[in-house]
Amino acid sequence: MTRIQPYSKPPILQPKDPGTALNFAGGWSLTNRFRLFAALGAYALQSQWGHAGDHVDYGFEFYKEEDGRIQVETHTLYFEKKITEAVDAKGEFVYDGISGATPTGLPPKPGSQEVPLAPMHETRYAGNLAFDCRWGRHLLSPQIAYSTESDYQSIGISLNDAIDFNSKNTTLRLGVAHNFDQVLDFFHADPNIPRTWQDKDSTEGIVGISQLLDPKTVLTADFTYGRESGYLNDPYRQVLFRGWLAFGPNFYIGGPEARPTERTKEVFQTTLTHFFDRVNGSAELTYRFYHDSYDIFAQTAGLTWYQKLGDHFILEPAFRFYEQSAAYFYFPEGVAGFSALTPDPARPTYYSADYRLSHMITSTYGLQAVVIIKDWLHLNVGYSRYAMYGRDDITSASAYPKANIGTVGFQIWF
């Protein structure tokens, strides 16, 4: 069930952990409600109590950070429809309503422990359409997507191919995706300087394999390589420039961050799913390794248990742990001694104070329940707790969010 869902500017919601930001043919929602592995590793589950065929899914997700930070309401409508014996159509529409306050990137003011926040309000409309085309042992999946908001526009295309071998016990997956994006750049303090649209392009390729080890165990492994270029700054983040001598050593001034105009990344992910007859449940264990040209190294480990209780109830407890190192151009206390407004050959080429580029860890744990009301009607409700913690002993602890996430939805087959 791969699909493009390009998400706007570098997320101001739950940060998109680089180790989980696998943007190939799909974005990661706040609770990974549509996991990339779902259509592959869930094979063992599906063979026991899964469903296939034409269906419509609706989901609502409410994400709320503590202390008056960001809150997001997301509505998602998804459908699958068989057109012919060889072609299925898939489509999705997403609406996000975002409000609250987000860190500016500046450190706490003298005498305060809280990082400065900036209020914001945004809406996003996004959609995608894909086709699964069966041709011999191949399953070709072209896809197109569009996303729009006031300061970000995105068009994405992708082509995936799943090739069956070994009596369909082995599947080789190949694919490529490209996004053509435009970003409205930094908001200038001088109203006479207008904001302008900047280009941003990203390309990702994936090669992976899914192997049925036995009738109840599936192993997958994927390698993704990606490259972004163009305007990669977050237009809402600032960097503190300390001690600009023209105004005295204690003068502070904030200016726009400056990230490299190119970023490459490598991601390796492996997932093992096994169904246990004795307890009528399935375990999904995932590990992901990430590295990019920002010099960020990250690791993610996750465990989800799918427990069927009777004929009408499934419980899904889940836990995920993530850790990353800091970007080489991360300056949490600002860049000292340089002007934010005029060129200075001694100033670093790249700098950012975005806490999402710091050395940090995150944890997510939660529980989802699925109620099978009828064979053709399923309801689901879930709750997750998300927390981020800094590990550099420099960035203010108030920069890192903690959030509660609630989900509810239904699936109808016809």
Question: What's residue 240's pLDDT?
Answer: 85
Question: What's the CA gap between 240 and 320, in Å, rounded?
Answer: 33
User: What percentage of the chain reaches a pLDDT higher than 90?
Assistant: 73
What SS3 class is residue 86?
coil
Closest among 326, 206, 320 to 266, alpha carbons compared: 206
Report, as an integer, the average pLDDT of 157-186. 96
- Looking at the predicted structure, is the pLDDT value of residue 346 above 70? no
**Cβ atoms of residues 195 and 185 within 8 Å:** yes
- Looking at the predicted structure, is the pLDDT value of residue 34 above 60? no
Lowest average pLDDT, out of 87-96, 234-243, 386-395, goes to 234-243
Question: What's the CA gap between 348 and 158, in Å, rounded?
Answer: 37
Question: What's residue 255's pLDDT?
Answer: 82
Which residues, listed in sequence order, are joined to residue 61 by a DSSP beta bridge? 74, 407
Its sign, for the CA torsion 226, 147, 209, 284, is positive
pLDDT tens digits, one per residue of 306-321: 999 999 999 999 999 9
Question: What's residue 358's pLDDT?
Answer: 97
Q: What is the DSSP letter of 7?
A: -
Q: Give me the torsion for CA of 59, 405, 127, 175, rounded to 10°.
A: -110
Question: What's the CA gap between 306 and 368, in Å, rounded?
Answer: 9
* pTM as predicted: 0.86
User: What percentage of the chain reaches a pLDDT higher than 70?
Assistant: 81
- Looking at the predicted structure, is the pLDDT value of residue 365 above 90? yes
Question: What's residue 336's pLDDT?
Answer: 63
pLDDT tens digits, one per residue of 191-219: 788 899 999 999 999 999 999 999 999 99
Q: Indicate the average pLDDT of the chain.
A: 85
- Looking at the predicted structure, is the pLDDT value of residue 337 above 70? no
pLDDT tens digits, one per residue of 229-270: 999 999 989 888 765 444 444 555 678 899 999 999 999 999
pLDDT tens digits, one per residue of 44-58: 333 334 456 899 999
| Confidence category of residue 19, pLDDT binned at 50, 70, 90 | very low
Question: What's residue 348's pLDDT?
Answer: 85
Question: What's residue 32's pLDDT?
Answer: 33
- Looking at the predicted structure, is the pLDDT value of residue 43 above 60? no
Question: What's residue 110's pLDDT?
Answer: 80
Q: What is the DSSP letter of 6?
A: -
Q: Which amino acid is at 370?
A: V
247: left (phi over 0), alpha (psi -120 to 50) or beta: alpha
**Cβ atoms of residues 262 and 241 within 8 Å:** no
Report, as an integer, the average pLDDT of 345-353. 84
Closest among 129, 79, 33, 23 to 382, alpha carbons compared: 33
The 10 Å CB-count burial string (b at 16+, else e) for 71-105 is: bbebebebebeeeeeeebebbbebebebebbbbbb
CATH numbers and ranges of domains, the chain: 18-413 (2.40.160.40)
